[in-house]
Amino acid sequence: MLADLTPLRESRDYRLLFSGQVASYIGRQFTVVAIPIQVFKITHSSLDVGLVGLASLGPLIVFSLAGGAMSDAFDRRKLLLINQVLLAATSVVLALNASLKHPALWPLFVFGSLSAGFAGADMQTRNAITPRLVSRQAFPAAAALGQLVWQVGMIVGPVLAGLVIAQVSLATAYWIDVSTFVVAFAAAIPMHALPPEGGGTRAGLQSVLEGLRFLKGKQVLVSTFTIDINAMVFGMPSALFPQLGTQVFGGGAQTVGLLYAAPGAGALIGALFSGWVPRVRRQGRAVIIAVMLWGAAIAAFGVVTWLPAALVFLAAAGAADVVSAVFRNTILQLSLPDAFRGRLSGVHIAVVAGGPRLGDAEAGAIAALATPQISVVSGGLACIAGALVIARLVPAFTRYDSRDALVYSADGPIPAAKGEVHG
């Protein structure tokens, strides 16, 4: 039942990638939590918190797609190093702004958006690198470990961020983020060069469009994106956490930090006990069930007014989400040739990270028109309905079986057994 550590044992470079992820993901959460708290502190509006998330959607999508094209054209290790420098630079600007006696609102929109965009480029680069570092058979375990790293960051980062913001300052939270990117940079330096296989492609708009055209007619691959958009747009109420934490649960920054951390806590438990993941064959069906459980848990969270119960339901949602994420990433990455992994990873990250931004705007708008609780409950129920619609419209996704999986190429699908084997 416990997480399979085979990828860490079989690959030195994966161990370096993994350790850098631990540092950068934890640090990243300091900024993720600090920005909405600071926006709400300045404006006292959940709608504005949602809008700052929406503002980052454009850069996130553009940088993720552009970064994917670059990952298929250039050395992915070098891109990883560049991403850490750019992320650290945005956090430096946010820290300097937070240090002012009267911090400005516009840097939170501008540099918060740039930070989200660089984070998207960084995540897709890491996703495209992983299949090169481990064997095909070990990839589901590596996907689970990647989720483990992400969820450690999601739980440790927000809790520590809430404490630092409450006890020290917002500026300190941003400076801590800067320091963790330095650690991630140092971890990437000893890794071997990772040029794209086959000489790579030429980076540019045409390359991005080629990656998007690759998805045409591939319903299973497209469904890995659409079902996540459904879950994140309707069932991700994080923009409401500052208002819920202070007005419904009667707390302060620490309570808000706990709300942000709770889904990560549940996902961490789910990732720790992910040893069963490689034995699941009907992975599409598992995704459908996991997304429905996510929606049900979010709806239940919207009903309760007792903080411990709210945290339990958020944790349950996080556990369901990590199962969905592992299987979606496995279906996607093992169905792609290396020549398209960067670009399709860019699409994947644009969806995974962009969906919550749309969700922020949706949740904030509904909360402004009605109440935060109505926004949360309606979103959770809509998420369940969306998963049922996808299952009905795309039966091939529900029937997906890893034993009969195909590797798609520009010339058509080939059996996975004849496809790439890395490691």
DSSP letter for each residue of 241-268: HHHIIIIIS---HHHHHHHHHHHHHHHH
Give the pLDDT score at 385. Answer: 94
The CATH classification number of 6-193+201-402 equals 1.20.1250.20
CB-CB contact of 263 with 321 (8 Å): yes
Contacts of 358 (CB under 8 A, 6+ apart): 54, 57, 229, 232, 233
In single-letter form, the type of residue at position 215 comes to L
Give the pLDDT score at 412. Answer: 53
Give the pLDDT score at 199. Answer: 60
CB-CB contact of 144 with 87 (8 Å): no
Distance CA 301, CA 245 (A): 13
CB-CB contact of 195 with 339 (8 Å): no
CB-CB contact of 69 with 343 (8 Å): yes
* pLDDT < 50 positions in the chain: 414-415, 417-423
Q: Which candidate, 65, 67, 92, 75, places its Cα nearest to that of 211?
A: 65
Q: How far is CA 96 from CA 90, 178, 192, 221, in A?
A: 10, 12, 35, 42
Give the pLDDT score at 188. Answer: 92
Q: What is the CB neighbour count within 10 angstroms for residue 182?
A: 15
Taken as a whole, the chain contains a residue count of 423
Give the pLDDT score at 402. Answer: 65
Give the pLDDT score at 203. Answer: 67
Secondary structure class of 28 (helix, strand, coil): helix
Distance CA 54, CA 369 (A): 18
Give the pLDDT score at 423. Answer: 34
Q: Which candidate, 72, 69, 64, places its Cα nearest to that of 117?
A: 64
CB-CB contact of 349 with 64 (8 Å): yes
Residue 126: half-sphere exposure toward Cβ, Cα within 13 Å: 33
